[in-house]
Amino acid sequence: MRFADRVAIISGAASGIGLLTSQRLAEEGARVVLTDVDEEAVTEAAGRIAETGADSIGVRVDVRCYNEIEAAVALGVERFGSIDILLNSAGGNSRRVFGCSEPFHELDIEIIDWGLDVNLKGAVYFCHAVLGHMIEQERGVVINMGSVSGVEGCYSPDYGAAKCAVIGLTKSIAMIGAPHGVRSCCVSPGPVLTRPEMANMKTPLGRAAETEEIVNFILYLCSDDAAFITGSNHLIDGGRTLGGFR
């Protein structure tokens, strides 16, 4: 029970890495606040966790809306007493989300705005909302989800730019938090089998990652076993960013 008496808040918690991390944190003793823009899905997910005997609540949050983030954080503190872990998992490639096939320079600017807002501003907003609580309690861990696209680039520049900027956000929060016992790390996966089509992305190891492999590392970074790790970006990409790989 590595996370007994810890409270975690997770964005993008209704599916994928966010959902599995929420479930695993709860299994290991954490009280969890699941947030997602899909109210029905996040409420159902939190309910399933609560059925196991863990403390869990689901809150609809659009990460583009700071007041919704602030309210969710306040609810977590009111209900459970603290915020000890933040996982910024909400995000997505705007071209995929909106089914766009046209090149970047022909995209509607609203789609680009969505990509920047969800993938970057949402993480900035959540960090802003939780950092004061973590500093006051002299303890906390922030995990930001980056992407291999933030390191190697991609054909959706808003996504690549946002994920690259998340690395800078991580380092900045680590600098601010270090004197107060608050750590910040970025996890940048390559292809992950949260969607079947990710299996088609090539890596030197010849496969995409299982979601569990990413979540296992996130849990390690959240735990006291990683107490001396902060400000770093961790690639879990099967070697995709190795020089010379095609």
Helix 16-27, helix 211-222: angle, nearest 10: 50
Write the DSSP symbol of residue 198. Answer: G
CA angle 155, 158, 163 (to 5 degrees): 95
Whether residue 78 contacts residue 91, with contact meaning beta carbons closer than 8 Å, is answered with no
Task: State the DSSP H helix or E strand holding residue 189, giving kind and residue range, or none if neither.
Answer: strand 182-189
Phi, psi of 89 (to 5 degrees): -110, -15
Write the DSSP symbol of residue 239. Answer: T
Write the DSSP symbol of residue 134. Answer: H
How far is residue 213 CA from its own chain's centroid?
Answer: 15
Residue 159 annotated as catalytic: yes
Quote the tokens at residue 55.
Answer: 């403390």
Helix 122-137, helix 66-80: angle, nearest 10: 30
Q: Which of 66, 125, 155, 159 is catalytic?
A: 159
Could you list the active site residues?
Answer: 159
